[in-house]
Amino acid sequence: MQTELRSAGPAVLIVKCWGPLIWVIGALGVFGADFPTWRFLPALPLLLLAVFHLSVAVVELRGGIIRYRRLFKWAEIQSEEVLSARPVWPPLIGSIKLKKFVFPWGRLYFVLDKNRESNPFRRGLFPLLRYLNEEEPYTNSQSSAVPTEPRSGGWPPG
């Protein structure tokens, strides 16, 4: 069975398209008509955020091979290069720490896959992060499975 995990499509649209656009419009609002004056300094953090959003990668796992792309070209990551993976901005952005430095931020920031946890007040369950952290092997049959936990009180009683 072919295993496949990838960054979620709607999140890619939000992070890589709308994110930079919002930050650049905010920076242009700070610039106003006086671009080369001192107003350039307060706009620098907004431009840096736009560059960050543009540098966020799309990650895909297919057949045990981890690949990522920032713009057009796919690059592979060997499983033994991955040191850790974590959510940075849990609904949208995660990061992978590799053995080598990844330009420009040192880590590979990427768009997360779909959260399998339906409760928004619990910690997210991202199968791609779990695979990268070697917490459990992933198969397509797990994609529709809901984690079962023992009930302790609450409604309905049981």
- Whether residue 127 is contained in a domain is answered as yes
- Whether residue 152 is contained in a domain is answered as no
- Whether residue 86 is contained in a domain is answered as yes
- Tens digits of residue pLDDT in 26-82: 888 777 666 667 777 778 898 899 999 999 999 999 888 899 999 889 999 998 899
- Whether residue 157 is contained in a domain is answered as no
- Whether residue 49 is contained in a domain is answered as yes
What does pTM read for this prediction? 0.77
Q: Which domain holds residue 13?
A: 4-142
- Whether residue 121 is contained in a domain is answered as yes
How far apart, in whole angstroms, are the C-alpha atoms of residue 57 and residue 111? Answer: 6
- Whether residue 75 is contained in a domain is answered as yes
Domain count across the chain: 1
- Whether residue 42 is contained in a domain is answered as yes
- Give exposure, 123-156, as e/b (b: 16+ Cβ within 10 Å): ebebbbbbbbeeeeebeeeeeeeeeeeeeeeeee
